[in-house]
Amino acid sequence: MHELSITQSVVDAVCERAAGRPVRTVRLRVGALTAVVPDAMRFCFDLTTAGTVAEGALLEIDQPPGTAHCRACERDFTLTDLVLLCPCGSADVNITSGRELQIVSMRVG
């Protein structure tokens, strides 16, 4: 379960940035191609925030789909799974989104 170590890193960064102020909401962008399971991350968030300024904070996760660009046919398309094939059948694709894992915002106070 790599979600635990990822979530711990997120919580560490959030708590450092909060500088002692209580954290109310944390919003993340976790791309669909990261292999991070949002429900597992939510569970880990509750565990890793215990006893910190982020305890009780709401975790919001946006999960944008994976997208790619085909070099063969020049088409941009949405990836429906981890199979990196263009609808034209080409495997000559460049992933353009879906691998991001970012802290988008946090609300303190």
80: exposed, middle or buried (C-beta count within 10 Å: 0-12, 13-18, 19+)?
Answer: exposed
Q: In the Cβ-directed half-sphere of 40, how many Cα atoms lie within 13 Å?
A: 10
**Does 44 carry a binding-site annotation?**
no
**Does 73 carry a binding-site annotation?**
yes
| Full DSSP string of 27-92 | EEEE-TTS---HHHHHHHHHHHHTTSTTTT-EEEEE-PPEEEEETTT--EEEESSS----TTS---
**Does 2 carry a binding-site annotation?**
yes
**Does 15 carry a binding-site annotation?**
no
- Residue list for the binding site: 2, 70, 73, 86, 88
Query: Residue ranges for the binding site for Zn(2+)?
Result: 70, 73, 86, 88
Residue list, annotated binding site for Ni(2+)? 2
